Structure 1
Amino acid sequence: MPYGPYGTPGMPGAVPYEQPRRTTNGLAIGSLVSGIVCCLPPLGLVLGLVALPRIKKRGQAGKGLAIAGIVLSAFSCLLLVVGLVTGGFGTAWNSFKEGFEEGMDEAARSKSPTALRIGECFEDEDKLKEYATDVQVVDCALPHDGEATGRFKITGFAEWPGDEALDEVAEKRCDTINTAYALDTWAVPTDVWTYYYLPSSQTWRRGDRTVICAYATEKEPFKGSVRSDGSTLNADQTSFLLTVNPIETAVYGEPEKDPDEDFAANKAWAGDLLKEIDRARAGLKGRHWPAAANGPIAELGTTLDGASKLWAKLATAADAKAYWAAYDTAWEALPPDLGADVRTALGLTDTLPEGQGGASA
């Protein structure tokens, strides 16, 4: 028959008897913790001194903890006094405070690309990889990788459309946004181009449909804002750029295939460019310009009048041979700078960025 210790043999309900466990004094534990972390040295000292007589009276464990807490706290108190007397504590506190403030400032400037606001310049440590998760907002006067120009929401897709479809939408929309953001194209460095941040398939599933447009570079960071729109330009500057910029845009639309390979496309392009030249002629003549700009405006208008006649021959060429015959003279008639003297008179950037050839590029 089984026997339970200190119980009746075989009696139902009999349980073993155990000695009461020896508890550890809580004040001793608090003293040690306070001494280790050094946050409130006097508190650890007081807790340890109070704990010792209680431990002895109650037969508790923790005497070693209390003594260790007293020693550590006393040492911390000594360091605190020395620091206050020598000024070292103040120096340490100031260093901590400065580091904390710098850390908070850096955290405040670090954000997701989707949180970028129009006009903010930023550094991208991922160097403009396909999907960035973090950018650092900086003063535009400092070197930076990009400048946010606008944002829009993707619509028309019930489910994730894939990167290729999003690229197609983003490229067109961001080109339009960037064109309006930087009307003074000569102020944009040659290695700074249209860029955008897209939703990923993962963020799309969480409801993200935002595209962030930017001017950015994958090469050396650039300084200064490229913004030149209604918020930074006066009415005359804006009017002039809106008049001549479409010519520059049309120039870059020249087909890759030459007239011998695709005559129809080249003839259509020449016609489009002719329309922009004629619109510019009308725009220059239909506005009252500042006195300083009147002479350069008249000279540019006369030049565009001659260019219009020669581009009309190109746009009405009967075949590729006739097109080639009129091609060079048409280009020579179109001013490569589209009015640098006018830009000077109006206070715009009057020097082409290095490597950019203007309208005749």
Structure 2
Amino acid sequence: MPGPYTSPGMPYAAGPYAGVPGGVPYGVPARRTTNGLAIASLVSGVVCCLPPLGLVLGLVALPRIRKRDQAGKGLAVAGIVLSALSCLLLVIGIATGGLGSFWGGFKEGVEEASRSKSPFSLRTGQCFTPDGKLEAYATDVTVVDCARPHIGEVTGGFKVTGFDTWPGEDAIDEIAQKRCETVNGGYALDTWAVPKDVWLYYYLPSAQSWRLGDRTVTCAFAAEKKPFSGSVRSDASRLTDHQAAFLKAVNPIETVTYREPEEDPDEDFTANKAWASELLAAIETARAGLDRRTWPAGAAPSVAALRQDLGAASKQWLKLATAADAEAYWEAYDPAWEALPEDLGADARTALDLTGTPPVDAVGEGSSV
């Protein structure tokens, strides 16, 4: 049946109760209001946070309900009963010490919940343990103190740009590999201080999260098997100028060694020759960087010795980088690795108060081929 209103914009039509005070027809009793204190008493009794308050509110509500002819007597009585029970439990808890245990557990639960985060809400420098297996796609991780055992440490992150639609996992993975390698390199300049079996890791947006606007890649160091303790952070803000200059000069050599092509020069001569040229350039850049600086007296001799060793290595890697064919490449291969200082200046690192012990197979792993 049509309602009492006319078309939009027109005045209201006369309804069945038009002219009746309050819009209620004669003979229909007004509905009683519910006492607010009764409601508050019940709520206080149910949540058990302030049981004495619920008890007081209920006792005050009862006479007002009678006096004002309001509804809510049942609510007030229920609130009084529940609050009285809560008060009794509170007294028992205080007497037995159970309240302290409850509050401690409650507090611990709140703190743990506050540490549970999405991988994409992690911040640089935070250490974490995933809630489950270490996977590229994760919904929850738990932030922990870096002094405690943990699986990963966030080094930074970036947003993927240049794509209007989901580009696919392989495309993002390729970007993340390169960008996070740079991010991690700047975060942990003292690479020898990074524990063994702790590697480059990153969290990627998934196809589903991409549709919701997620473009974040979170870079990290992570251990797939055994947790590690302590922060691996050794960026420029935590190093002296001499320490940072030394590491920035020699670290690229170490980085390039890990990029050696998987295919032998017999299978992909071009790729191997390009890699040898890249490593030769890193050696020459390191020599120049070490030569440009005046080093502390305690470190100067060992830095000079490293620079001399790099000069000898440069000659051998030049032969490798300019090899005419795969056979010539193999002839120059072992001499090039043997000429490259295996420890990349352990004495100089020690003299500069850096980590002086290299990780296993840090440099020169190809020499056994």
Structure 2 match to 1:198: 204
Q: What letter corresponds to residue 316 of structure 1 in structure 2?
A: T
- Tell me the matched-pair count: 329
1:186 to 186, 189, 192: 192
* Aligned equivalents of 1:262, 1:28: Cα separation in 2: 84
Structure possessing the higher radius of gyration over alpha carbons = 1
Alignment-derived partner of residue 18 in structure 2: none
Q: Distance in 2 between matches of 1:301 and 1:50?
A: 88
Query: Which region of structure 1 is more displaced relative to structure 2, 245-254 or 33-42?
Result: 33-42
Q: Provide Cα deviations, 1:254-282, integer angstroms capped at 9, x if missing partner.
A: 22222223333322322222222122122
Give 5+ residue unaligned stretches, structure 2: 1-33
Indicate conservation of the 8 Å contact 1:49/1:70, yes or no. Answer: no
Is 1:40 paired with 2:51?
Answer: yes
Q: Which runs of 5+ in 1 are unaligned?
A: 1-24
**Taking structure 2 as the reference length, what is the TM-score of the superposition?**
0.76
Change (3 A) 1:324 1:112: same
Give the structure 2 partner of residue 215 of structure 1: 221
Please give the alpha-carbon distance, in whole angstroms, between the structure 2 residues aligned to 1:276 and 1:31. Answer: 75
- State yes or no: 1:88 paired with 2:95: yes
2:349 is matched by which residue type in structure 1? R
Residue 231 of structure 1 is aligned with which of 234, 237, 243? 237
What secondary structure does 1:151 align onto?
A: strand
Describe the shift of the 1:225–1:288 C-alpha distance in structure 2 as closer, same or farther (beyond 3 A): same
Letter in 1 for 2:294: H
Cα distance in structure 2, aligned partners of 1:68 and 1:286: 83
Question: Which residue, 222, 237, 260 being the options, matches 1:254?
Answer: 260
Q: Matches of 1:35 and 1:173 in 2, distance apart?
A: 56
> Which of 161, 165, 175 is the equivalent residue of 1:169?
175
Q: Using a 3 Å threshold, how does the CA distance of structure 1 residues 270 and 202 change in structure 2: closer, same or farther?
A: closer
8 A contact 2:136–2:202 mirrored in 1: no
Q: CA RMSD in A?
A: 3.5
In the alignment, the residues of structure 2 paired with residue 109 and residue 30 of structure 1 have an alpha-carbon distance, to the nearest angstrom, of: 33
Matched, 1:276 2:287: no
Match of 1:358 in 2: 363
Q: For 2:154, which of 140, 148, 152 is the aligned residue?
A: 148
Q: Deviations over 1:9-36 (max 9, x none)?
A: xxxxxxxxxxxxxxxx999999999888
For 2:246, the aligned partner's letter is F
TM-score by length of 1: 0.78
SS at match of 2:273: helix
Alignment-mate amino acid for residue 241 of structure 1: L
AA paired with 1:197?
Y
Q: Could you tell me how far 1:300 is from its partner in structure 2? A: 1.0
Provide the rounded CA distance (Å) in 2 between the counterparts of 1:108 and 1:245.
38
Q: What is the alpha-carbon distance in structure 1 between the residues aligned to residue 280 and residue 41 of structure 2?
A: 88
User: Would the aligned equivalents of 2:38 and 2:57 in 1 still touch at CA under 8 Å?
Assistant: no
Contact 1:45 1:74 in 2 (8 A): no
- Check if 1:329 corresponds to 2:340: no
Deviation for aligned residue 1:297: 0.9
Identity %: 61
* Residue 301 (structure 1) shift: 1.5
SS of 2:262's equivalent in the other structure is coil
Return closer, same or farther for 1:42/1:210 CA change in 2, 3 Å cut-off: closer
Q: Secondary structure at the match of 1:292?
A: coil
Whole-Å separation in 1 of the counterparts to 2:269 and 2:146:
46
C-alpha deviation, 1:219, in angstroms: 0.7
